[in-house]
Amino acid sequence: MRLAIKVLLAACVFCFVQNAQAVAGGIGYGKGFSNLRAVRMAVTWDLGPWSLHENLYHWHSFWEASAARWRSSQGNIPNGRRTSSIFTTGPQIRYEQSSLNDYGLAPFFELGIGLSWMSKKNIGGRRMDMHFQFEDRIGFGLHWGENKQYEAILRGFHYSNASLGKHNSGMNIIMLSLNQWFD
């Protein structure tokens, strides 16, 4: 059963990313509950705009895969863990400015949801109950560069098992990410 799920997820990701227009690599750093520090590396595939009309702003879709490492500096944690690795993949949408403004910037707003796997069920005293989690995100960012190839994004992440497990403490993280796009 687990192998079938892995094959299905891999096939879904492959279907989305094979038509990608560009790919970005990025790194982020953030903070959360329980003195949590998070470092995240991500690869993002540009799946294209939703409309072909040239407007000032437009909707755009992406697929992202990431790996993160969380570390809590909270002392003496009974039955808890100080570190956890998190792997996530999922779609995101952006409402973004089509071209750079007079200041050489193009702002955007993004939303996303993903499926996550955590190496530890508990971290920093937070009881996540399952290795499987959902990642919800909201962010605001800016593109810059001649071809909008650089971006900085301030994101809020929420990790939760959607009450599929007995415990669902959830985890919230605020993160700043820097990405570079490649055609």
For the chain, list the domains and their CATH numbers: 2-182 (2.40.160.20)
Q: Show the CA angle centred on residue 31, arms to residues 142 and 181, nearest 5°.
A: 30
Residue 6 scores a pLDDT above 80:
no
Residue 78 scores a pLDDT above 80:
no
CA 112 vs CA 84, 99, 175: distances in Å: 22, 22, 14
Task: Report which DSSP code applies to 90.
Answer: E
Mean pLDDT of 139-155: 95
Instruction: Please give the residue that has the higher pLDDT: either 162 or 111.
Output: 111
Q: In this structure, are residues 57 and 95 in contact, taking their beta carbons and an 8 Å threshold? A: yes
Predicted structure pTM score: 0.83
| pLDDT confidence band for 123 (50 / 70 / 90) | confident
| pLDDT confidence band for 105 (50 / 70 / 90) | very high
Find the range with the poorest average confidence among 52-56, 118-122, 164-168: 52-56
Residue 164 scores a pLDDT above 90:
no
